[in-house]
Structure 1
Amino acid sequence: MNAQSVEDLPSAIDRALDGRSILILPRTRDAAITEVAHSQWTGSGRAPALVLFTSGSTGTAKAVALSAEALTTSARATERFLAGPGDWLLSLPINHIAGFQVELRARLAGREPIRTTSATFTAEAFADEAEHLFSHSGHRPTYTSQVPTQLHRILANERATLAATKFDAMLLGGSAISPVLLERAAGRGLHIVRTYGMSETAGGCVYNGVPFDGVEITITESSTINLRGHVVADSYVEITAEGHITPVDTPGLTTDDDGARTMHTSDLGRIDEGVLTVLGRSDDIIVSGGTNVSPHALETGLLPTWQHHGIAEVLVTWVPDEEWGKLLVALVRIDDQVPKAVADSMGSPHDFARCLDGLAHGMHEQLLPRLVFPVAEIPRRSIGKPDRQAAARLAAKLAETKIHGAPTSEYPNE
């Protein structure tokens, strides 16, 4: 087993794609990438080119085995959707599929990406790195891949925003995207491409709601999304203490008799005239007072209005409650410009909720957050996805320390 530095990754990618080794990405961004021999594969089918771990947004991270076919099919489909092979700026962690795909696309395009050297993403570092990329790209298209939190920071910085306008395309995914964020980006002239996918589909396989050629989307009777095609992973795997890689059967990943693979996601969605809309995760549903509530639907429904009143980001979670079972809570990151009426209500989580819930957001027929807590940062995992488990823990702590014994059910359903 050999450890690989990021600088050695391009040649290691070549070996993995050629079937000479297997790359294993680490669970954390600071750990080493490893390269192992095919003899470590114990499955009966083809050995994978890449093993990586999911973000663990629904619990324990799973190890996913991706073939060279899945990886290159995805990378080439991205080139076809965009303006062809180009130069890339890498601002995402390499241990996640979105970051690895930037490395792979750059490798297939013949040039290494410009890699961020900052441990934490900053708008100023992004601007510096983008300028470095543009100075070497010549007439080649330029691309980058971001998560919404990074785009928020870019748009808050004039120099970074100007740099972002020069990219031929900015892929944006990893978590729910606020319509207002997209409007702001479009208003500044950024070329945003919304992506949907996951580790099990070799990254994004649906761009701006439209699947790649060869990717088939099915909405099940329970409204969850199935993705079928060559980009889908071969299997989940276990890695033993001896380093052996063993496939694991699971209903989440299935293979048809003809060899076609399907990822059965927990994401809820609908298709309108061939365009996919993702509505959140079925396993994120919060049952409050006997009513099923999608936090994703609340977030995307409330934020377009709330952002005009000083709320930059929102994450909906819950706290235990005797009356409701689970009481809806919103964690919000405050913008620089907050109207006085909103600022005056922030002293009480109940008053803050009443103030924001009373805005003209058009969602009065739905259950709304009963408590709102300002936070410095929305809890997220390393790739930028909301960390809903951490959010629930944080909400419980804030409710305990800030409400001082006031019953959380005093705000009745209106």
Structure 2
Amino acid sequence: MPSPRVIEPLVVPAGRRAPEVLPALRKALDGDGPALLPVAEGSEPVRALGPGAALGPGEDTAGDPTALVIATSGSTGVPKGVLLPASALRASAEATHLRLGGPGHWLLPMPAHHIAGIQVLVRALLAGTTPVAVDTAGGFRPDRFADAAAETLANDGPHYTSMVPTQLSRLVNDGGQGLAALRRFDAVLLGGAATPPALLRRALDAGVRVVPTYGMSETAGGCVYDGVPLDGVRVHIDAGGVVSLAGPTLARGYRGVPGSPAFAGGWFRTGDLGRWAGDRLEILGRADDVIITGGVNVAPTPIERILTEHEGVREVCVLGVEDPEWGQAVVAAVVPSDPACPPSAEALRAAVRERAQPAAAPKNIVFLPELPLRGPGKPDRTALRQHFAG
């Protein structure tokens, strides 16, 4: 009987050197060697996921080896290890190429130890092309994106890239060579966080071929593109509005959590609220982010959309904070387009009252130069709550 396979850390360099992990990644996809736990260079792997230890019962199979264990804290901050078999990673990459127009050349502007970034490398491997990564030392810069894009675009197409809304926002706002390069890509996958509708419209109006995506580590990355599931992916919305996903891109489960109810019956219960808008899936936000204020349920995402459509607003995060009178109070962190001239807080409240229920109007609004982020690009709600403390 063969010995159980072990989990070994995969140190992923930042920026231009990220493709150095391609040989190890190829071996993992082929089931040759250990399962890999991607970790950013200079960081320690999550000890709770057992780097160096063997995979347990049900965490691996000979016919479909677990290739990656993706560490994710999700919205709770509790580390989890998502067990991704090689078949799920391959199915995701192949379905992506099928949807976008065939295998192509990929540009990586994101950290490759998160699922969205490492899937760019997987797609390039399966396409037989060499990915290019953006120099992100000191942060994401449009001029460096343009430099790396030039290398990718020098090859015969198709050309693809994948990014988070914050990166797209910087390219659109800068309007220089970075945006000019972005227009030349055949598809720009956008995920990792909710995209403000105003940003999406600005990008499309600027000639960027944006494809909003929805997915997570548990689905090997984005599995719903522009509201339409990738081939083989199934979507179910229960009576409470919670979205579940199934199909060939699904993870095997969580490391050390056999029989997790989140994966019951071959479906992954996402914890996200959604609805069908015609034949397209619309995500309304996390079920556990719903704010109960004075007995009224307020979903943050629709309120964020209203606020980002207001003139002078670039980014918004709406959340609930404890309140002695209301139980929870709706508050909003707003990044103005011009920090020296932010919009009126009362005008923002009025816009919400006009288009949503009165209880949804933020009782407190703070203006920030940037939203604190976690992971590949999600607002850090825990950090934001500190701005409303006291």
TM-score by length of 1: 0.83
Paired letter, 1:40: A
Which of 371, 383, 386 is the aligned partner of 1:390? Answer: 383
Give SS of 1:101's match. helix
Matched, 1:41 2:50: no
Distance in 2 of aligned mates of 1:17 and 1:39: 19
**Which structure's CA Rg is the greater one?**
1
**In structure 2, distance between residues paired with 1:98 and 1:360:** 33
Superposed, which structure 2 residues align to 1:232-381 within 5 Å?
232-238=250-256, 248-254=258-264, 256=265, 261-304=266-309, 306=310, 308=311, 310-336=312-338, 345=344, 352=345, 354-359=346-351, 362-367=354-359, 368-381=361-374
The one-letter code matched in structure 1 to 2:287 is: S
Question: Could you say which residue in structure 2 is the equivalent of 1:205?
Answer: 223
In structure 1, how many angstroms separate the alpha carbons of the residues matched to 2:165 and 2:9?
34
How many Å separate the matches in 2 of 1:379 and 1:337?
16
Q: Which residue number in structure 1 is paired with residue 146 of structure 2?
A: 127
| In structure 1, distance between residues paired with 2:110 and 2:127 | 19
SS of structure 2 residue aligned to 1:63 = strand
Query: In 1, Cα distance between the equivalents of 2:209 and 2:319?
Result: 32
Deviation at 1:31, TM superposition (A): 3.3
Distance of 1:284 and 1:318 partners within structure 2: 8
Would the aligned equivalents of 1:165 and 1:190 in 2 still touch at CA under 8 Å?
A: yes
Deviation at 1:108, TM superposition (A): 0.9
Q: Aligned equivalents of 2:337 and 2:324: distance in 1?
A: 33
1:39 Cα deviation after fit: 8.3
Aligned pair partner of 2:247 in 229, 239, 249: 229
Match for residue 144 of structure 1 among 140, 157, 161: 161
For residues 296 and 363 of structure 1, what CA distance do their matches in structure 2 show?
Answer: 13
Q: Output one character per residue of 1:172-212: Cα deviation in whole Å (capped at 9) or x when no partner.
A: 01111111111100111000001000000000000010001
1:240-295 deviations in Å (ceiling 9; x for gaps): xxxxxxx53210012x4xxxx21111000112332101011101111111111111
Q: Which moved more, 1:322-331 or 1:43-52?
A: 43-52
SS at match of 1:161: helix
Identity %: 40
Post-superposition offset of 1:321: 2.2
Letter in 2 for 1:318: G
Inter-CA distance 38–382: structure 2 relative to 1 (3 Å threshold) = closer
Structure 1 residue ranges without an equivalent (≥5): 239-246, 346-351, 401-414
Distance 1:110 1:148 in 2: 28
**Aligned-residue CA RMSD (Å):** 2.4
8 A Cα contact 2:306 2:351, kept in partner: no
2:254 and 2:260 in contact (8 A); partners too: yes
Matched residue SS, 1:205: strand
Separation in structure 2 between the aligned mates of residue 189 and residue 336 of structure 1, nearest angstrom? 24
**Aligned letter for 1:25?**
L
Q: 1:323 to 1:248 in 2, by over 3 A?
A: same
CA offset at residue 335 of structure 1? 0.7
Q: 1:13 aligns with which of 16, 25, 48?
A: 25
* TM-score, with structure 2 as normaliser: 0.88
Unaligned runs of 5+ residues in structure 2 are: 1-7, 13-17
Give the conservation status (yes or no) of the 8 Å contact 1:22–1:38. no
Residues 3 and 143 of structure 1: is their aligned pair in 2 closer, same or farther, counting only changes over 3 Å? closer
Shift of 1:88: 0.7
Separation in 2, partners of 1:50, 1:357: 45
- Aligned equivalents of 1:125 and 1:109: distance in 2? 25
**Is 1:156 aligned to residue 173 of structure 2?**
yes
| Amino acid corresponding to residue 141 of structure 1 in structure 2 | P
Change (3 A) 1:327 1:39: closer
